[in-house]
Structure 1
Amino acid sequence: MNKGADIRIPRRVVTGLKDGKSVFISDGPTPNAHRYDSVPGHLTSVVYATPARPSLPQDHAEQAPPKILITPEPGETKLMIVVFPPDSVFATIDPAAAFEEQAVHIPGLIQAFEADAPGMHTTNTIDYDIVLDGEVWLELDDGAETLLKQGDIVVQCGTRHAWRNKSGKPATMCFVLIGAERE
């Protein structure tokens, strides 16, 4: 049994048009949410994705299917919810098992993480990051850190960073990733 089974899967409501009227296209658990067996208390979920030039109405097909590539191309977006367990959990895991599981569920993103600097990563994205619950530290490549609490927002501009949960409770964050070109 997954020790993180009590983590709530995000509910996603998507609207669209039918016969010229607003309708609910879907309402239920995010289809690609994943609770990690290798990292108890960790959850990732891509809630929605858009192409570089979205059009309306949105297609009724699933926009964020399981195993979707996480890192967006320039102009594309991905909306994610991530639950970070305390860092003390990460200290007890099997890194190879975690990487294997994460490679299936967050492809593209997990490959951006540095093997010799746990948690540090860089992506070609501008991210709007919002702390929904708990607290988390944002660490930059020079060791500078800042504590973020519920309601705090970070605009992450393609820099090398890591998220650290130094508390004893889970932290939940919302990430909007916007693909960018690096010069």
Structure 2
Amino acid sequence: MDQQQKTFRRVVTGHDTDGKAIIISDAPPVHTQLVGGPGGPTFFEIWHTLETPALIHSQSREPDENGLVLPPPKTGTRMRVIEFPPEGEEIRKLTGADAAAKFKTMGDEKASTSAEGAPHPLMHRTQTVDYGIVLEGEITLVLDRAEATIQAGDIVIQCGTNHAWANRSGKICRMAFILIDGQFTDEIAQH
């Protein structure tokens, strides 16, 4: 089984001194991180903004961050690509503490909702609206009371729900995510 994935480019545009559109950068993503060691997903951090509306500069550059951060900045956005390898026994056997430790390496230990009897050990929840687009392969979206297997071309709009991703396909799944900072309403926050 060939797990080697093709690389992709991140093309960033901007403006020259005459205000004309130019390409500022055309290269693979700079920030890449394997989470949880061998068998874990690889995160390709593409871009993030610090506010909405996003300020557009003539020579835009991504704001600096220290390490991988799961949610977008407060009032901001984040785009990333994640490659999920096939899920193995090491994932299925994670304890709640193990799951919290994995989310801590992503800068958001509080996101982990893993508990005894949960439908998946990597269940998590963030105050975000996430657009998830399957680029290659397939993956199962696991919710508290439902599952959906999504394939290349399918799109998930994940609205602050408790969820996990389970790759049961035997091949790598590559997804693009756009994360938008959000806030739970009172009726959702109490759950």
- The TM-score range, normalised by the shorter chain, is 0.7 to 0.9
* One-letter amino acid of the counterpart of residue 17, structure 1: H
CA distance in 2, matches of 1:41, 1:114: 18
Q: Which residue of structure 2 lines up, in the alignment, with residue 75 of structure 1?
A: 75
Q: Which residue of structure 2 lines up, in the alignment, with residue 21 of structure 1?
A: 20
CA distance in 1, matches of 2:68, 2:56: 21
CA distance in 1, matches of 2:89, 2:132: 22
Q: Which residue of structure 2 lines up, in the alignment, with residue 167 of structure 1?
A: 169
> How far off is 1:12 after superposition?
0.9
Report if aligned partners of 1:32, 1:65 keep a CA contact under 8 Å in 2: no
Task: After superposition, give the CA deviation of every residue in 1:90-118 in whole Å (9 maximum; x if it has no partner).
Answer: 448988888767644x212x541234341
Question: Percent identity between the aligned chains?
Answer: 34
51-60 or 87-96: bigger deviation: 87-96
| Structure 2 length-normalised TM | 0.78
Give the secondary-structure state (helix, strand or coil) at the position aligned to 2:88.
helix
| Alignment partner of 1:132 is 2:138 | no
> How far off is 1:18 after superposition?
1.3
Q: 1:88 to 1:152 in 2, by over 3 A?
A: same
Q: 1:174 to 1:154 in 2, by over 3 A?
A: same
Task: After superposition, give the CA deviation of every residue in 1:59-112 in whole Å (9 maximum; x if it has no partner).
Answer: 5333365615331245310001001111126448988888767644x212x541
| Alignment partner of 1:148 is 2:150 | yes
Q: Which residue of structure 1 lines up, in the alignment, with residue 188 of structure 2?
A: none
- Root-mean-square deviation (CA, aligned residues, Å) is 2.9
> How far off is 1:9 after superposition?
4.8
Q: 1:40 to 1:9 in 2, by over 3 A?
A: farther
Q: How many residues align?
A: 177
CA distance in 1, matches of 2:74, 2:127: 8
Q: Aligned match of 1:123 in 123, 126, 132?
A: 126
> How far off is 1:140 after superposition?
0.7
Give the secondary-structure state (helix, strand or coil) at the position aligned to 1:33.
strand
Q: 1:158 to 1:38 in 2, by over 3 A?
A: same
CA distance in 2, matches of 1:10, 1:76: 24
